[in-house]
Amino acid sequence: MVKRLFTFLLLGVCLCVFTTSCARKPEIVDLKLKLEKGKIYTTTAQMEQKIEQTIVGRKQDMDQNMKMKISYFVEDVNSEGQRTLKMTYDAIRFEQKSPVGTNVYDSEKEEVDKGIFGQMFAPMVGQAITMKILENGQVTSVKGFKKIIEDIVRNIPAKTEQQKKMVKQMISQQQKSFAGKDTFEQMFKIYPAGPVKVGDSWESVITMKGNFPLKIKNVYTLKDVRVKRAIIDVKTEIVSAEGMQKFPGMEQGIMNIDLKGQGHGEMHVNIKSGWIMRSDMEQDISGEIRMAANEQMPEEMKWPIKMTTKMRMRGK
């Protein structure tokens, strides 16, 4: 009996040691984007945003919810580790609630009242963008978004030539934001320059162009390492890019946007592939928008604005 009991105890100790050694966390991880050629990686991203602003004494609060399903097919991996990704918008849902009513577009529903947002987003569904990206998350080129923008412009109804011109100016200006590599680097450029251990931090700075140009500084800290995932804490600082810019859709409209904000959240990154498996972020941005006086508007206009945004992303 004593011999048998000793044998069970010894077996228990051996199992404990074996389990501990198998579950041991790596002390140092080298996080890079190492997607495999021929594979498809998917992302479901959801954004909930509340915008508060008072224009000419009237509150113009707005709630926006957006959900996108995106797939990335790895077409090629060259000798330097650069990946060629074919990114496809598989589904888009957008809902906006404002003082003038509620508008909803859902590409996954058979009967869709497209409305203005459907006319904007419908041309994106099923369309593909090709990008080239390095292992450190730097995007070197983006192709295909120009065609999507052109389709959107054609799709939006405008009764007069002036309206068509305004729509084209507005969307073309926004194209600088969404079609540029900076947009995609905001999601992909999360990797440190070299191997890191728990407690180490690194940062990235990205400038977003378009109708609301922003400078975004992200500070990443390796919080924990699990068997297959790196848990990363994220702190964000946001400020408006300096300078005046044209007001969307107004020929003579010049505006200055003065915004500041902060954000925080957490990411789970697959250690082997570098793919983001989970991301939960929150941002608070506030400031003022000023429109300079012009022939169409003889007096300067200015109004406060506040934006609260929650973003959630799940990857496979």
**CA atoms of 72 and 274, how far apart (whole Å):** 14
The verdict on residue 136 lying in a domain is: yes
CATH code, domain carrying 109? 2.30.230
Q: Which one-letter amino acid corresponds to residue 91? A: A
Here the tokens at position 145 are 């978004």
**110, pLDDT greater than 80:** no
Which one, of 137, 134, 139, 114, lies nearest residue 125 by Cα?
114
Residue entry with tokens 């904007």: 120
- Maximum pairwise Cα distance, the chain: 100
The verdict on residue 228 lying in a domain is: yes
Here the tokens at position 183 are 């947009």
The verdict on residue 153 lying in a domain is: yes
Beta strand ranges found along the chain (DSSP E)? 28-29, 40-55, 58-59, 62-77, 83-98, 101-106, 128-133, 139-143, 196-197, 201-208, 214-225, 229-240, 245-246, 254-270, 276-291, 301-315
**3, pLDDT greater than 50:** no
Task: Quickly list H helices, the chain.
Answer: 2-22, 115-121, 145-155, 161-178, 181-188
pLDDT for residue 111: 64
The verdict on residue 295 lying in a domain is: yes
3-state helix, strand, coil in the chain (%, to 5): 20, 50, 30
The verdict on residue 191 lying in a domain is: yes
Number of domains making up the chain: 1
The verdict on residue 262 lying in a domain is: yes
> 272 is in which domain, residue-wise?
38-315
Q: Lowest-pLDDT range, 44-53, 134-143, 148-157, 282-291?
A: 148-157
pLDDT-above-90 percentage for the chain: 37
The verdict on residue 198 lying in a domain is: yes
pLDDT for residue 14: 43
Q: Which one-letter amino acid corresponds to residue 114? A: K
What are the tens digits of pLDDT across the range 231-281?
Answer: 999 999 988 876 555 555 555 556 677 888 999 999 999 999 999 999 999
The verdict on residue 3 lying in a domain is: no
113-141 burial, b for 16+ CB within 10 Å, e for fewer?
eeeebbebbbbbbeeebebbbbbbbbbee
